[in-house]
Structure 1
Amino acid sequence: METVAAVVVTYNRLNDLKKCLDTLRQQTRKLDAFIVINNGSTDGTTEWLATQPDLQVTNQANLGGAGGFATGIDTAHKAGFTWLWCMDDDCLAAPDALEKLLASPNLGPCIKNSMSVSVKDHDELAFFVSRPNKEYRKVADMAPVDLVYGVASFFNGTLIHSEVVKAIGIPDKNLFIWGDEVEYMTRAQKLGFPVVTVPSSVFYHPPSFDRDGIPWPAAWKQYYAVRNQRRVLQNQHGKTIGRVLFATWAAKATMQQALAKRANRLYNFLLYGEAALDSLTNNFRKRPDTILTLKLYKWRHKTV
């Protein structure tokens, strides 16, 4: 019999976490386990989790989404579950989301993702997707088909077969956030595992907030998206070609930030340049408090 464990990573969003877990507990296909990774929350999450007997909780330092899912996937895989259903704490699952994933066409060991719908507008996808011959913006763009191949919004209702984890390992915690999920997806694709979105299975998620640029100081998160892109490109094109493609892309993207008519473009330019240099020199050690551009911004604006 196939078993399914939910893997939820949380950090300082107790109210969101409660709502997320409520939707998981109400699934028409009951889950076999709830594994929650608490990334060093300081808002009462730790204390509340201790009162929930149906949850298997790991409390750890804040290792970012990458470190949280590395721990959660490793825990669930070692426990022997057939499927691992992974999500952030601000996701809301439709009542039949898991049932629909499991009932979708059998692809063998694979990764199946729920369709991520904007919690603010149920006609719009939470994350826009661009493909050479197709743009996915609205729910109607995906809804007509059973499976959308090569598209998945990790980690938002991402169902991963245990055989996939056995082959590709766990997420790289050194990537911290932003890009770690794409790196993990391309790792699976590189070994030939199908990656699909199942439109009949619905997850609700806040819409991507970086569509029009991220305001400072929150823009520091973009550092990781830039830095981690090299790993994605190397998964897709090999180490040498991937490195060259990254260097070319990063140089162009950094100059675009310098020329863009946006507030804080100097900081955006410095941030992209710092991230690109760190990536090319294989410096994946930086955490938010050691990103030089962020430290400069805080010093000049007297923020803490």
Structure 2
Amino acid sequence: MTEKTVAAAIVTYNRLALLKESLAAILAQTNYLSHVIVVNNLSTDGTKEYLDSLNDDRIVVYHATENLGGAGGFNQAVRLFGEQLQDDFVWLMDDDTMPEPDALSHLVEFVVAHPQAGFVNSQVRWGDVTGNPSWMNVTAPRAFTWQRYLTNTQEPAVEVVNATFVSVMFSREMVAMVGLPQKEYFIWGDDMEYTNRIADINRGYMVINSIAVHKSKENTKPGDIVAEKDDSRLWRYNYEYRNRVLTARRISKKEMVKTLTVAITRDLRKTLLKKGVAFRAKKLGVIVRGLWRGLFFNPSVEYANGLRQAKSRSLCDAEMDLLD
């Protein structure tokens, strides 16, 4: 069998020190790495000059002429993978992701042994390899599959619903079937929506022995507007709620209703009634506007030039047929 090749991809914005550390960790992978795509989202901290000074044929740099957001950056990274490279897999991560030296080997070797996997992702720790789980990157196990992991500790991976773009890998064939990440999300939720698309064709797995460290500033839960203390971050939640609704709509009407119900009965209610909530009025406006915009937000899915094929039958449709 010909050895598989992988293009890693990093999206970066004004975090040069972390980018250098992440790039070094990726280039130190023991097997399979062929290229590293770096999308620079118009950084102003010397990132451009640093990247332009590198002399490594494996590194492919894209300097954006505007800040594309994380979603736009990953859209561009997967496009470059599809249009300019011929590697078998693309492996996505933020600029504060530090994979262990064998992280990629474990991902590839699992996929080779389990070709039915649509995507694979690493177990993500926060701060360092011995730290707590990175809560924003914890992936939910798929219902009716988790029990087998309680009785069989030798399982190499856990079947998961979706994954974040912090050490997640999928194939060229999958990109051809599902298209590119949704750049219009700009920030937050694009990874969940994209891996949902993949998992509707072939299920995703968290590979237990593949470890990556996420060096985010805080180990917070994703999208927790009630606990948010930083006024300068509230604009992000406009995208969070809008994107959350579209992601649910693309799954089913039932999922959309569930998402709206949870946002109203939990987030809106807590923001309104809980004592000591910072920026209460502004947060209430963000939640309402975001949910409303999500009902009408419907950007089309893009494909890389020359890389498009009909997807196989939806697993969700197949499951519904079994229930009929």
- Asked if Structure 1 and Structure 2 have the same fold, meaning a TM-score greater than 0.5 normalized by the shorter chain, the answer is yes
- 1:96–1:243 Cα change, 3 Å: closer
Partner of residue 24, structure 2: 22
Q: Specify the SS of the correspondent of 1:273.
A: helix
Matched, 1:116 2:130: no
Asked whether the 8 Å contact 1:143–1:200 carries over to 2, the reply is no
Pick the aligned partner of 1:194 from 203, 207, 215. Answer: 203
Tell me whether 1:76 sits opposite 2:81 in the alignment. Answer: yes
| Structure 1 pair 183–108 and aligned structure 2 pair: CA distance change class (3 A) | same
Q: Deviations over 1:240-289 (max 9, x none)?
A: 444444443333232332122212222211111111122123288xxxxx
Select the structure that is richer in strand. Answer: 1
SS at match of 1:217: helix
Q: Give CA deviations for 1:62-91 in whole Å, capped at 9, x if unaligned.
A: 111110000000111222221001110000
Encode CA deviations 1:75-118: one digit per residue, 9 max, x unaligned.
11222221001110000010111111112232346211011111
Tell whether the 8 Å contact from 1:109 to 1:163 is kept in structure 2 after alignment: no
- 8 Å Cα contact 2:163/2:195 also seen in 1: no
Q: Give the conservation status (yes or no) of the 8 Å contact 2:35–2:60.
A: yes
Matched residue, 2:248: 233
Match for 1:256: what amino acid? Answer: K
Which residue identity lines up with residue 295 of structure 2 in the other structure?
Answer: L
Q: In 2 relative to 1, CA 35–254 (structure 1 residues): closer, same or farther, beyond 3 Å? A: same
Q: 2:39 — aligned with what? A: 37
Map of 1:260 onto structure 2: 274
Q: CA deviation at 1:121?
A: 6.8
Hey, what's the Cα distance between the residues in 2 that align with 1:132 and 1:257?
Answer: 30
CA separation of 1:269 and 1:281: change in aligned 2, threshold 3 A: same
Structure 1 unaligned residues grouped into runs of 5+: 285-304
Residue 66 (structure 1) aligns with = 71
CA 1:101–1:229 in structure 2 vs 1: closer, same or farther (change >3 Å)?
Answer: same
SS at match of 2:174: helix
Percent identity among equivalent residues?
Answer: 30
Distance 2:215 2:236 in 1: 17
The alpha carbon displacement at 1:181 in A equals 0.7
Moved more, 148-157 or 241-250: 241-250
3-state SS of the aligned residue for 1:50? helix
Offset at 1:153? 3.7
Q: What is the TM-score of this pair, normalised by structure 2?
A: 0.78
| Maintained 8 Å contact 1:107/1:194 | no
Report the counterpart of residue 11 of structure 2 in structure 1: 9
Moved more, 220-229 or 86-95: 220-229
Task: Indicate yes or no: 2:282 matched with 1:273.
Answer: no
TM-fit CA distance, 1:200 = 0.4
Counterpart residue type for residue 158 of structure 2: V
What is the CA–CA distance in structure 2 between the aligned matches of 1:80 and 1:257, rounded to whole Å?
49
Equivalent in the alignment of 2:215: 206
Matched, 1:99 2:114: no
Partner of 1:146: 156
* Residues 1:132 and 1:72: Cα distance change in structure 2 (over 3 Å): closer
- Greater shift after overlay, 250-259 or 180-189? 250-259
CA RMSD of aligned residues (A): 2.6
Residue 172 of structure 1 deviates from its aligned partner by 0.7
2:183 counterpart of 1:173: yes
Aligned 8 A contact 2:123 2:206 in 1: yes
In the alignment, what sits opposite 1:287? none
Deviation at 1:198, TM superposition (A): 0.3
Tell me how far 1:226 sits from its aligned partner.
1.1
Q: Which amino acid aligns with 2:107?
A: L
Secondary structure in 1 matching 2:262? helix
Q: How far, CA to CA, are the matches of 1:267 and 1:283 in structure 2? A: 25
1:57 corresponds to which residue?
Answer: 61
Aligned length: 276
Return the TM-score normalized by structure 1: 0.83
Identify which range, 12-21 or 201-210, moves more after superposition.
201-210
Q: Tell me what 1:290 maps to.
A: none
1:185 CA displacement: 1.1
Residues 116, 153 of structure 1: 8 Å contact kept: no
Higher RCO (C-alpha 8 Å, min separation 6): 2
Do the aligned partners of 1:9 and 1:87 also contact (CA within 8 Å) in 2?
Answer: yes
Find the aligned partners of 2:141 and 2:167 in 1 and give their Cα distance: 21
Q: Helix, strand or coil for the counterpart of 1:156?
A: coil
| Matched-pair contact (CA < 8 Å) for 2:97–2:213 | yes
Is this contact kept in 1: 2:140–2:161, CA < 8 A? Answer: no
SS state at 1:40 partner: coil
2:170 partner amino acid: I
